[in-house]
Amino acid sequence: MKKLLFLFLLTTQCIQAQDSIPKSPLLNKRNEIRVDVLALALARPNITLERFFFFFFSAGVSGIYSNTKKVKDDFDEGNINAYSKYEIIPFVRYNLSQGARSFYFAEVFANANGGDFREIVLLTDASNNHYYAIKKSNYTDLGLGAAVGYKYYIKDQIGIELLVGFGSNLFNKDKSPDILSRVGLGVSYRF
C-alpha cells in the first residue's frame, strides 16, 4: 500500500512539473540570431547564433571582431599593452526562470581569443651597448568564464537581451589580457 501511495505521489509530481513549463509559441522556435548593439556602437561587431534544446537549456556561439583605428592608435601609443582582434565564444545557458517570454539565465562560456601584444624590451647591439625597443607580437589564448543575463521577447520573435559576465585567460597570461569581459545589449530574431 505504501509503495502504491509513493508511486501515485511521484506520478502526480511529474505531471505537475510538466505543467509548470509554460505553453508558448516561442518554444516551437529553436534558433536565434543576435546582434550586440552595444558592441556595434564601439565598432566591435558581435554576432551570436543560439540553439534552444529544451525549455531550460540552450547553447550557441558568438563571434567578435575588433580592428578599429582608435584601438590601433591606443595600442601604438602605448596606452594599452594588449588588445583582442577576434574572439570566438561558445556558451551553454540555463534558464533560471519559469517564463518563456521573459527570463533570467546563467551561462558558462569558453573564449578563444587572439590579438596583438606590445612590450618594451632591453636589447644589446654588436658594440655591447644596451638600448630599449618596442617589440610587437601576436598572441592567442583560451579563457573560461561565467555570465548572467535577462532576456525579454516582443511578439514571440524579437528579443532584447542584457548580459554581464567575466572570465580569465588560462595559458598565455604574460601576453593576453588577464580579464575577459562579456557585457552586451543584444537584439535578436528567433525562428
Per-residue pLDDT of the chain (191 residues; tens, 9 = 90+): 556 555 555 555 544 444 556 577 777 888 999 999 988 877 788 999 999 988 789 999 999 998 777 777 877 777 777 778 899 999 999 999 888 888 999 999 999 999 888 888 888 888 888 888 888 888 999 999 999 999 999 988 899 999 999 999 999 888 888 889 999 999 999 99
Among 71, 105, 103, 99, smallest CA distance to 85 is for 71
Q: Which three cell numbers stand for residue 88?
A: 570566438
Q: How far is residue 11's CA from residue 46's CA, in Å, rounded to a whole number?
A: 45
Q: Which long-range contacts (CB under 8 A, 24 or more apart) does 132-137 make?
A: 134/78, 137/175
Q: Which three cell numbers stand for residue 150?
A: 535577462
Let me know: does 49 contact 32? Beta carbons within 8 Å. yes
Q: What is the pLDDT of residue 42?
A: 75
Q: How far is residue 75's CA from residue 77's CA, in Å, rounded to a whole number?
A: 6
Question: Cβ neighbours of residue 130 under 8 Å, at least 6 residues apart?
Answer: 122, 123, 124
Q: What is the pLDDT of residue 14?
A: 47
Q: What is the pLDDT of residue 1?
A: 55
Q: How far is residue 162's CA from residue 187's CA, in Å, rounded to a whole number?
A: 9
pTM reported for the whole predicted model:
0.77
Let me know: does 58 contact 48? Beta carbons within 8 Å. no
In the three-class reduction of DSSP (H, G, I as helix; E, B as strand; rest coil), residue 76 is classed as helix
Q: What's the maximum distance between 2 C-alpha atoms anywhere in the chain?
A: 97
